[in-house]
Chains A and B, each alone.
Chain A
Amino acid sequence: MIKFLFQRTIGMAVTMFFVSIMVFVIMELPPGDYAERWAFRKFSGTGTEFNEADIENVRVELGLDRPAPERYLTWISDIVLHGYFGEAFAFQTSVNVVIGQKIWLTMAILFSTLIITYLVSIPVGIYAAVRRSSIEDYTLTVFSYLGFALPNFLLALILLYISITFFDSSVGGLFSPEYADAPWSVEKALDLLSHLIIPAIVLAWSATAFQLQTVRATMLDELNTLSVTAARARGVPEWKLLLKYPARLAINPVVSTMSFDANRIFSELPIVALVLGLPELGELLLKSYLDLDMFVAGAILLILTFMIVFMNFLADIALAILDPRVKLIEG
């Protein structure tokens, strides 16, 4: 087991290394650099004149004149050794500060979404498999198709509309106006939860639809196996049979695709956050792209990817615990 953990950790580090290179390339892609944009903005904003030398000065100041590999090394070592993600030019402060608060929110959204997804899709998937070809099953299949087809941001808009028209509550944003600046309290926490529900539901929508089908398909496969019949032949009651045998195996694919779910969630987060006005990383990413504030963008990409890779790592461990066959093959 230790060996397994060790291997996986090394794998994680290697992957992140390559990812960081890729992120850096993306950071470098936009033509022109921040110095030019800064100068242009300064000019169009305040009418200050500037010339090449000024831009060059800014460049040196921001460290943008060094060759690429050197900048990469500076960047990455700052992150790994000092936890410093660079300058957020647009905000005139470090990226850490800008990102700091929002990380927690993003993680909260991620976890609440995952929890909703698994709490719903696993039992419902099992149910659909057991009640195969019934009305309930067909309805759920239709729901799954819709879940896949309806873009999440549209769903967000629809939900927003419904909540405003019918419930007269401002569901967008994170807190109701009363609580926004108030100190933390139970009521504030509850308020936060009630606001988190909508984005979590929106993001969980397609993930749930997908996992539901996966669970159902695996269950259907497992229900017909000999081991279930053998257990039945031993007189085990039906419900216990279902839970102990097929269900346990049906969870495997769900666990192994946990990181894909996280990937999809992070993928859709920026747009949903934009629509619902949530101040978290995805929305910030969007803004930074539009502003070409690449340090911020790069940092967010790196963090999001790291969370996904980490989830993959956790999923591998969970799978090894759940399914004894895995450990034996790896070990």
Chain B
Amino acid sequence: MAITKETKEANLLEVKNLKILFKTDEGIITAVDGIDFSVKRGQTLGIVGESGSGKSVSTWSIMRLLPKNSIIDKNSSIKFHRKSGKVVEITKLRANSRELRKIRGGEVALIFQEPMSSFSPVYTVGNQIMEAVLHHRDVSKEEAQEIAIDMLDRVGISNPGQRFKQYPFELSGGMRQRAMIAVALSMNPSLLIADEPTTSLDVTIQAQILELMNELQEDLGMSIIFITHNLGVIAQVADEIEVMYLGKILERGTTKEIIHQPQHPYTQALLRAIPRLDRIGERLTAISGDIPSPLSRPTGCPFYTRCEKVMPGICDVEMPNATQLSDSHTVYCFLHEEKDV
């Protein structure tokens, strides 16, 4: 699957001003509050954030998988470059339209945190892979089966022919995760969204899965959006990292920039909070305070309630603008804004 840089755009996905609201019994919640990001071909974008940061919601919206009580703001834009070359404005597509369904799976695939729950328990693994293949590729049933078994083999599942006929509960956790990757890849997507794919696995399996994903990305030239709250994992897989908090992006940059030169207090606090083997015996540094409830979002910068470098009167009034620190490194913080101005 060779992609020539001259003929195609570098950007696979461009998201601008994405704002997502939810209607609930207790009121309208803003889950994502106007974020911009983009994904380049063959690249991995990592999205880091705590729960409630909006990382899952923003990616699910790319495939319009949000529940019925969600609203995508009309000024938001999600532009996706299809394999055919056509650029589609995802927000304008009708829900469950044919085009959307072709994009789902066939061009953008999603793998979940819970491999057990994402498979239906009453059909075999093979059946579910074949369903995906038959829907997106013009092949016969026999060919689909071959593709499925081949994919199971590709993701490192032993005895793929036998596993094909088994039910999800008959596979171990790691195998199920691989099977889920197999389903996703069998549809030949150009973008893979991995929503916390290794969070529920133990560390050794985690390492294997990450290695697998790296391999497959190189082989297939696929782009990946990798969502996690684990900075250690992200450092291994991502080319670019975004840090999200309560629906906003606070900092964005290459992996090197974010991990080694974090500029936002939140990013810095996250990195400090990682337990280190060379500092055993020291107290862990947690970020003080709790995430505010989305029903009562703080005005201004969402992090100010827990920030140790908070400037009252400044940080709690307005959201800081983007400060460009380098070609790839952007931070949204008044600390840097002042320097800029």
A-to-B contact residues, CB < 8 Å: 225-227, 229-238, 244-245, 248-249, 322-325, 328
Number of B residues with CB within 8 Å of any CB on chain A: 29
Q: Is the CB of A225 within 8 A of B117?
A: yes
Q: Is the CB of B135 within 8 A of A324?
A: no
Instruction: Return the CB mask of B158-179 against A: 1 if under 8 Å, else 0.
Output: 0000000001011000000000
Q: How far is the CA of A157 from the CA of B251 in the complex (A)?
A: 74
Q: Closest CB-CB distance, A307 to chain B, in whole Å?
A: 29
- A-chain residues with CB within 8 Å of residue B119 when the two chains form the complex: 227, 230
Q: Is the CB of A235 within 8 A of B101?
A: yes
Which of these, A229, A233, A234, A248, contacts B122 with CB under 8 Å? A248
- B-chain residues with CB within 8 Å of residue A226 when the two chains form the complex: 112, 114, 117-118
Residue of A nearest to B108 (CB): A233
Q: Is the CB of B110 within 8 A of A230?
A: yes
Q: How many A-B residue pairs have CB under 8 A?
A: 72
Given A230-B110, A324-B167, is A235 in contact with B135 using a C-beta cutoff of 8 Å?
A: yes
Grouping DSSP codes into helix (H, G, I), strand (E, B) and loop, the A interface class, with mixed when no group exceeds half, is helix
B120 interface residue per 8 A CB criterion:
yes
Residue of A nearest to B183 (CB): A234
Q: How far is the CA of A248 from the CA of B122 in the complex (A)?
A: 8
Q: How far is the CA of A229 from the CA of B114 in the complex (A)?
A: 12
Q: Is the CB of B118 within 8 A of A230?
A: yes
Given A237-B101, A325-B169, is A231 in contact with B122 using a C-beta cutoff of 8 Å?
A: no
26 contacting pairs across A/B (C-beta < 8 A): A226-B112, A226-B114, A226-B117, A227-B117, A227-B118, A227-B119, A229-B65, A230-B110, A230-B118, A230-B119, A231-B120, A233-B104, A233-B109, A233-B110, A234-B187, A235-B101, A235-B104, A235-B106, A235-B132, A235-B135, A236-B132, A244-B120, A244-B123, A323-B122, A324-B167, A325-B121
Q: How far is the CA of A232 from the CA of B101 in the complex (A)?
A: 8
- B-chain residues with CB within 8 Å of residue A232 when the two chains form the complex: 65, 104
B105 interface residue per 8 A CB criterion:
yes
Q: Is the CB of A235 within 8 A of B65?
A: no
Residue of A nearest to B184 (CB): A234
Q: How far is the CA of A248 from the CA of B114 in the complex (A)?
A: 21
Q: How far is the CA of A235 from the CA of B108 in the complex (A)?
A: 10
Interface residues of B in 202-248 (CB under 8 A from A): none
Q: How far is the CA of A137 from the CA of B9 in the complex (A)?
A: 49
B136 interface residue per 8 A CB criterion:
yes
6 more CB-based (< 8 A) A-B contacts, given A234-B105, A235-B103: A234-B109, A235-B102, A235-B136, A236-B131, A237-B101, A323-B122
Residue of B nearest to A228 (CB): B120
Instruction: Return the CB mask of B63-78 against A: 1 if under 8 Å, else 0.
Output: 1010000000000000
Given A232-B65, A233-B65, A234-B132, is A227 in contact with B102 using a C-beta cutoff of 8 Å?
A: no
Q: How far is the CA of A225 from the CA of B123 in the complex (A)?
A: 15
B96 interface residue per 8 A CB criterion:
yes
> 7 nearest interchain CB pairs?
A230-B118, A226-B117, A235-B104, A235-B105, A234-B105, A233-B110, A235-B101
Q: Is the CB of A245 within 8 A of B135?
A: no
- B-chain residues with CB within 8 Å of residue A325 when the two chains form the complex: 121-122, 167, 169
Residue of A nearest to B168 (CB): A227
- B-chain residues with CB within 8 Å of residue A234 when the two chains form the complex: 104-105, 109, 131-132, 135, 183, 187
Q: Is the CB of A245 within 8 A of B120?
A: yes
Given A226-B114, A226-B117, A229-B65, is A236 in contact with B135 using a C-beta cutoff of 8 Å?
A: yes
Q: How far is the CA of A328 from the CA of B167 in the complex (A)?
A: 11
Residue of A nearest to B123 (CB): A244
